[in-house]
Amino acid sequence: MKKIKVGIIICDRYKTCAGGKCFRAAANREGAFSIYKDMELEIAAFTTCGGCPGGNIEYAPEEMKKNGVTHVHFATGFIVGYPPCPYMEQFKKFIPEKYGMEVIIGTHPIPQKYYVTHARLNSWNNEFLSESVKPTLADESTRLRYD
């Protein structure tokens, strides 16, 4: 069975988060982790962006790569925070270019309470964000389990 090592970068606004939803979703292959359904998965790194404008994005992937990480996930907080991270699109281009690693936006399914607020605010109303939320949108019952 193919084994994948992933690294998770969280938005620093949630820096005290213990990662419970991300780790649960990874174990269940839910949200953005559903792409690893038939693979062995190891979360080999977990850190924050370092705070706006995300200085740690420049350096953290280097250490992750040394430890065998090939896929970097930006945690769902990048999308559901208000406002969604304004630098995401640049980060998503930077990491593959500099380190040759794949970037996936999102980790666990979007919690329903965030979904409702952002849907009302029409937050994900450009092409980049509307694509970015797709892996973690899930269905309502799944979102409710992550509330």
Question: Between 47 and 142, whose beta carbon lies closer to ligand SF4?
Answer: 47
Question: Between 20 and 53, whose beta carbon lies closer to ligand SF4?
Answer: 53
Question: Between 51 and 100, whose beta carbon lies closer to ligand SF4?
Answer: 51
Question: Between 53 and 68, whose beta carbon lies closer to ligand SF4?
Answer: 53
Rounded Cα distance, 98 and 58, in Å? 9
Interface residues with ligand SF4 (CB under 6 A) are 11-13, 49, 51-54, 78, 85, 87
At closest approach, how far in Å is the CB of 47 from ligand SF4?
A: 11
At closest approach, how far in Å is the CB of 18 from ligand SF4?
A: 17
Work out the number of other CB atoms within 10 angstroms of the CB of residue 78: 25
At closest approach, how far in Å is the CB of 32 from ligand SF4?
A: 16
Rounded Cα distance, 79 and 138, in Å? 14
User: Mind spelling out the 3-state secondary structure of 69-119?
Assistant: CCEEEECCHHHHCCCCCCCHHHHHHHHHHHHCCEEEECCCCCCHHHHHHHH
